[in-house]
Amino acid sequence: MDPSYNLRQQKIYDDYNMLTDENLAEYLNNSEKYSSEVLSVIKDILAERNVIEKGASDIEVQTRLKQRHGCVTAWLIFMIVANSLASLVYLIAGVNIIVTVDRDVRPIIIGVLVLSSLLNVYFASLLLQWKKSGFVGIAIMSVLIFFVNLAIKMGPGRAILGLVGILILYGILQIEKDGVSAWDNMD
């Protein structure tokens, strides 16, 4: 305990010191609900426990407290790379598909596929930034692409495989690090 604490800060310290690191991190994640005095004491407790550096900025604290398993990070990076490549393939091969393979495929469909791949890159980057809205975006894009696949006469079985990707992503986001899943860490 910091010897310069006043009586109120000592009481706060005593009350919060018995909580787990995870509980203290949750208080910091919901900082708008607590006074700066309480948050300062919580940071001091976490610094004493070597969870964060003494005097760490709010951004450093958030980065340190929110962690994801390496497999989750690897999957999100894979999604970014795969969707980037998919958008290039759709863009480059799209004309060939229209001309040589299926004249019923409209150029707008190729545009939708390119745009959805680029949006998935954006949504995966939101997931890397701890935003659940990235998952919602990917889910919406998957449903949209399901209907696009049906429109270009892809079989329903193959079209459904894209929807399975949402379940896989959700499952991967459930992988825990230090007892907390990436999903639970997201805003």
pLDDT tier for residue 122 given thresholds of 50, 70 and 90:
very high
Does 101 have pLDDT greater than 90?
no
pLDDT tier for residue 71 given thresholds of 50, 70 and 90:
very high
Angle, CA 52 vertex, CA 3 and CA 1 arms, to 5°:
15
The predicted-structure confidence for 16-59, as pLDDT tens digits, reads as follows: 888 887 778 777 766 677 788 888 888 888 888 777 778 776 66
Strand partners, 180: 177
The predicted-structure confidence for 133-158, as pLDDT tens digits, reads as follows: 999 999 999 999 999 888 877 888 88
Share of the chain above pLDDT 90, in %: 34
- Cα Rg, the chain, nearest whole Å: 23
Q: What is the pLDDT of residue 187?
A: 77
User: pTM for this structure?
Assistant: 0.68
